[in-house]
């Protein structure tokens, strides 16, 4: 599969579901940054700014939580970078400026478009609705390079049914085909093993992301492994901030790090800074005095392969 690229700094509500073994519906990702104690493995976010790509995520769908005494695995939302771009045309035109009829509304879960068409997420600045679009002949397949027409979130691409052209470059309008979740919002699933279904933008944008381990960072190039409610998933890396440097979202940090509130990172300048994941079974090697490798308060809810995953945190 071709790599993700940068993830713009737009928040999005996520519901994440494991897809191998059979999926189960889980919660949304909080954006709590007012925490002072041990990590709470119930939250996470990702995102970041990019000059060439942008997410298409709904910036109005932020998630907040009450102040607590538990920290988070990170202060950003998980998801990934989609692609970008302001539309080049508006008001019912597509690329060549010709007037177009209103798009046929459809259901991305039911894929209820006429034969030869697919139900695709689209929107002028982010994926906010769905419409029927033609399926290319021949269509591109998962991982193939793909192209969109007009602008990145137009919904018109050359990927096959059940796929979306993802992480589209603003200039070339090229990306790669990624699997859309199947099933329903209440019971989503993914055909690709070891992936996670992210239900985004009020269940309009629903994509399958690869599972990973934060201590090995076994993601494709330009992705990082970050916490996603009940597991860790590969998400587009948006920046390369080093240990102790300011961040806004977890993908602002280089791979192997995540973004935590300044209250639990000594000397942090700003609202939050990058801290490393750490191995609970190894001697602590945290960057600042007073920090320890701490397990999340919901560590028992993680799959067993994450039993040794901790986070450097001021205690």
Which of the pair, 137 or 296, is modelled with greater confidence? 137
For residue 58, the number of C-alpha atoms closer than 13 Å in the C-beta half-sphere is 21
Three-state DSSP class for 245?
coil
Q: How much of the chain, in percent, has pLDDT values that exceed 70?
A: 66
Q: What is the mean pLDDT of residues 228-246?
A: 85
User: First and final CA of the chain: distance in angstroms?
Assistant: 40
* Residue 66 confidence (pLDDT) above 80: no
Q: Residue 74 — very low, low, confident or very high, per pLDDT cuts 50/70/90?
A: low
Q: Is 304 exposed, middle or buried (0-12, 13-18, 19+ CB in 10 A)?
A: exposed
Name the average pLDDT for the chain: 74
Task: Note the pLDDT tens digit of each residue in 16-61.
Answer: 333 433 322 222 222 233 333 445 433 333 333 333 443 444 433 3
Q: What is the mean pLDDT of residues 202-221?
A: 92
Q: What is the pLDDT of residue 308?
A: 94
Q: What is the mean pLDDT of residues 276-280?
A: 97
Q: What is the mean pLDDT of residues 189-209?
A: 90
Give the lowest-confidence range in 83-87, 194-198, 236-240. 83-87
Q: How long a stretch of residues is the chain? A: 315
Domain ranges of the chain: 15-81+183-314
Check if the beta carbon of residue 122 is closer than 8 Å to that of residue 130.
yes
Q: Which tokens go with 145?
A: 């390079």
* Residue 120 confidence (pLDDT) above 50: yes
Q: Residue 102 — very low, low, confident or very high, per pLDDT cuts 50/70/90?
A: low
Q: What is the mean pLDDT of residues 307-314?
A: 95
* Residue 2 confidence (pLDDT) above 70: no
């Amino acid at each position: 599969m071709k790599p993700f690229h940068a993830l713009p700094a737009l928040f999005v509500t996520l519901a994440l579901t494991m897809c191998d073994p059979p999926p189960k519906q889980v919660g949304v990702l909080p954006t709590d940054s007012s925490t002072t104690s041990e990590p709470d493995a119930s939250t996470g976010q990702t995102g970041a700014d990019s000059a060439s790509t942008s997410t298409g995520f709904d910036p109005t769908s932020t998630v907040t939580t009450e102040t607590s005494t538990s920290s988070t695995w990170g202060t950003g939302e998980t998801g990934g970078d989609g692609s970008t771009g302001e539309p080049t045309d508006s008001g019912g035109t597509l690329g060549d400026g010709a007037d177009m009829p209103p798009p046929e509304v459809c259901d991305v879960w039911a894929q209820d478009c006429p034969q030869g068409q697919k139900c695709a997420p689209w929107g002028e600045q982010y994926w906010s609705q769905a419409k029927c679009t033609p399926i290319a002949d021949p269509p591109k397949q998962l991982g193939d390079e793909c192209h969109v027409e007009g602008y990145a979130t137009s919904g018109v691409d050359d990927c096959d049914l059940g796929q979306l052209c993802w992480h589209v470059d603003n200039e070339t309008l090229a990306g790669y085909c990624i699997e859309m979740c199947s099933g329903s919002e209440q019971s989503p699933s993914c055909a690709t093993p070891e992936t996670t279904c992210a239900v985004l933008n009020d269940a309009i944008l629903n994509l399958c992301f690869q599972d990973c381990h934060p201590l090995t960072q076994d993601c494709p190039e330009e992705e990082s492994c970050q916490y996603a409610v009940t597991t860790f998933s590969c998400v587009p890396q948006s920046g390369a901030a080093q240990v102790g440097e300011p961040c806004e979202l977890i993908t602002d940090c280089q791979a192997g790090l995540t973004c935590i509130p300044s209250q639990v990172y000594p000397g942090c300048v700003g609202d939050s800074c990058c801290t490393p994941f750490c191995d609970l079974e190894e001697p602590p090697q945290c960057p600042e005095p007073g920090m320890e490798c701490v397990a999340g308060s919901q560590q028992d809810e993680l799959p067993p392969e994450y039993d040794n995953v901790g986070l450097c945190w001021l205690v």
